[in-house]
């Protein structure tokens, strides 16, 4: 039962790679966006807010198709990236990472934003009277105090990325070894005769990964919170 | 020498204050709501005046006519808040060292030893702010502000959140700092007795205006 075949392993490793890359690339962007949403007021902010949460409520197929239209080789952004930087997203694992990053972005941003909003800004004032420039205040006070939220966001984002299916398969299809993640491999297997055992194995693997991520996040969050409460 | 001549509108409340003080400790005296905290926030650079000038030792920090507003982190003005505001994610040692690191000052072992001794905080180094008593927290906040080597120290009701016993415990430290640290101070309080013991000059504020300026003899009995 537990001989995981090379194709299945490929799908597992690819899923991990896609989710890790998506999370790591999205995190700094998510922190910046969360900070802007938490701290600044500007015209059109409700619109930006809605845009970020859009992937959460849109059917994933729609998001995937929009990605294909935008980042496909002939898409508005995709063509430019291909011509100028040689970067291709369509039907590549990088495209899967992009789809996962976009789909998990709202889940990543929300906890970070909440934790930044919860920071006592008087501590930041104290830091500036001690000679810290705005950037240093951000790095030495805001970021460490927002750490529990950042970790929570990363774990949620990672969990979403590893399970993402609809947008990924629409945007980059289901190519074994290139874009076939655990989800799309399971989808293929359960629609193939005799694929049940393999599908079951992959399901167990995905449950293990999800559990490990959740337990790790709980441990991190608890440790970070204890640190922040100053005792 | 501290020179302040500012106006600021804050909702329904307005501040219109002018004074110049040579004193080692300038007391800002007034009931709550008199504008004391807004005024020290302006001196610290956390709040910009609508109009006017603020200068320390002849250096302009605010001059609205010249559109000058030096940012708080470039003023080298220390600020001790009523609620200490120690960084909860750093231990006492790192809290104390914060200003030195941010200002890229070289470590001054003599100053550290002197302050540790003066404020009696040397043994607290490994503790977290959450593990300190109110009085200890306030002493660490004083040390943290002074280790950044400010040219002026603002103290906004530093005893305000302490009970009488703790106040009596911290007051001698403040008197020592006044006499030995060599840093001029602005001391905000609504307690005439406190200012009588600490201040050399007193600015009495009422509803955002200077009601009186002079020695400690202008304080109500």
Tens digit of each residue's pLDDT (9 = 90 or more) over B198-216: 999 999 999 999 999 988 8
Average pLDDT in the B114-140 region? 89
Give the position of tokens 């040689």: A86
Query: How far is it, in rounded angstroms, from Cα B27 to Cα B204?
Result: 8
Which pair of tokens denotes residue B206? 């009422």
* Residue A22 DSSP code: H
Whether B89 and A230 lie within 8 Å, measured CB to CB: yes
Cβ of A231 and B85 within 8 Å? Answer: no
Q: Please list the residues that pair with B60 across neighbouring strands.
A: B55
Contact residues, chain A, for B134 at CB < 8 Å: none
What pLDDT score was predicted for residue A226? 74
Decide if pLDDT at B85 tops 70.
yes
Q: Which of B71, B131, B148 sits opposite A130 (nearest CB)?
A: B148
Residue B158 CA to residue B49 CA, distance in Å, equals 24
Q: Shortest CB distance from A129 goes to which of B72, B128, B131? A: B72
Condensed to tens digits (0 to 9), the pLDDT of residues A41-69 reads 899 899 999 999 999 999 999 999 999 99
Q: Residue B109: is it exposed, middle or buried by C-beta count within 10 angstroms (0-12/13-18/19+)?
A: exposed
Asked if the Cβ–Cβ distance from A136 to B79 is below 8 Å, we say no
At B181, is the pLDDT very low, low, confident or very high (cuts 50, 70, 90)? confident
Distance from CA of B156 to the nearest CA of A (A): 12
CB contacts of A141 in chain B (<8 Å) are: 87
**pLDDT by 10s per residue, chain A, length 231:** 567 788 888 999 999 999 999 999 999 999 999 999 999 989 989 999 999 999 999 999 999 999 999 998 888 898 898 888 888 898 899 999 999 999 999 999 999 999 999 999 999 999 999 999 999 999 999 999 999 889 989 988 998 999 899 999 999 999 888 999 999 999 999 998 888 889 999 999 989 988 888 888 788 778 777 766 655
Tell me which residue has tokens 């790790």.
Answer: A216
Beta-ladder partners of B4: B19, B54
Mean pLDDT for the stretch of residues B9-23: 92
Q: Quick one: pLDDT at residue A222?
A: 81
Helix/strand/coil for B45? coil
Element (H, E) at B209: strand B209-214
Instruction: Tell me how close the Cα of A20 comes to any Cα of chain B, in angstroms.
Output: 28
Does the predicted model carry a pTM greater than 0.90?
Answer: no
């Amino acid at each position: 039962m537990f001989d995981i075949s090379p194709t299945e392993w490929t799908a597992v490793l690819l899923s991990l790679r896609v989710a890790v890359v998506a999370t790591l690339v999205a995190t700094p962007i998510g922190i910046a966006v969360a900070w802007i949403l938490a701290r600044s007021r500007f015209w059109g902010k409700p619109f930006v807010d809605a845009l970020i949460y859009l992937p959460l409520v849109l059917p994933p197929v729609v998001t995937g198709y929009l990605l294909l239209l935008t980042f496909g080789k002939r898409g508005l952004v995709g063509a430019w990236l291909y011509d100028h930087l040689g970067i291709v997203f369509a039907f590549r694992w990088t495209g899967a990472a992009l789809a996962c990053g976009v789909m998990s972005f709202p889940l990543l941003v929300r906890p970070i934003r909440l934790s930044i909003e919860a920071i006592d800004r008087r501590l930041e004032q104290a830091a500036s009277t001690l000679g810290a420039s705005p950037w240093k205040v951000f790095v030495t006070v805001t970021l460490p105090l927002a750490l529990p939220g950042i970790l929570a966001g990363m774990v949620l984002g990672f969990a979403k990325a590893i399970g993402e299916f609809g947008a990924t398969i629409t945007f980059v299809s289901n190519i074994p070894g290139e874009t076939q993640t655990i989800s799309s491999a399971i989808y293929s297997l359960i629609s193939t005769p005799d694929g049940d055992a393999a599908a079951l194995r992959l399901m167990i693997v995905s449950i293990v990964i999800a559990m490990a991520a959740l337990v790790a996040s709980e441990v991190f969050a608890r440790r970070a919170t204890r640190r922040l409460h100053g005792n | 020498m501290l020179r302040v001549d500012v106006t600021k509108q804050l909702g329904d409340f307005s501040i219109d204050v002018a004074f110049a003080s040579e004193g080692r400790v300038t007391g800002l005296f007034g009931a709550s709501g008199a504008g004391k905290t807004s005024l020290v926030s302006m001196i610290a650079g956390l709040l910009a005046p609508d109009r006017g000038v603020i200068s320390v030792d002849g250096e302009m920090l605010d001059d609205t006519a010249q559109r000058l507003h030096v940012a708080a982190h470039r003023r080298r003005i220390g600020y001790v808040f009523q609620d200490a505001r120690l960084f909860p994610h750093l231990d006492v040692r790192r809290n104390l060292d914060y200003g030195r690191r941010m200002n890229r000052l070289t470590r001054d072992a003599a100053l550290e030893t002197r302050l540790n001794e003066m404020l009696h905080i040397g043994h607290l180094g490994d503790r977290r702010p959450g593990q300190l008593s109110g009085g200890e927290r306030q002493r660490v906040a004083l040390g943290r502000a002074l280790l950044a080597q400010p040219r002026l120290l603002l103290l906004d009701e530093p005893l305000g959140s302490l009970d009488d016993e703790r106040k009596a415990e911290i007051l001698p430290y403040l008197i020592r700092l006044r006499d030995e640290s060599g840093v001029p101070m602005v001391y905000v309080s609504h307690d005439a007795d406190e200012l009588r013991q600490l201040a050399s000059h007193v600015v009495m504020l009422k509803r955002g205006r200077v009601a009186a300026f002079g020695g400690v003899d202008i304080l109500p009995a």
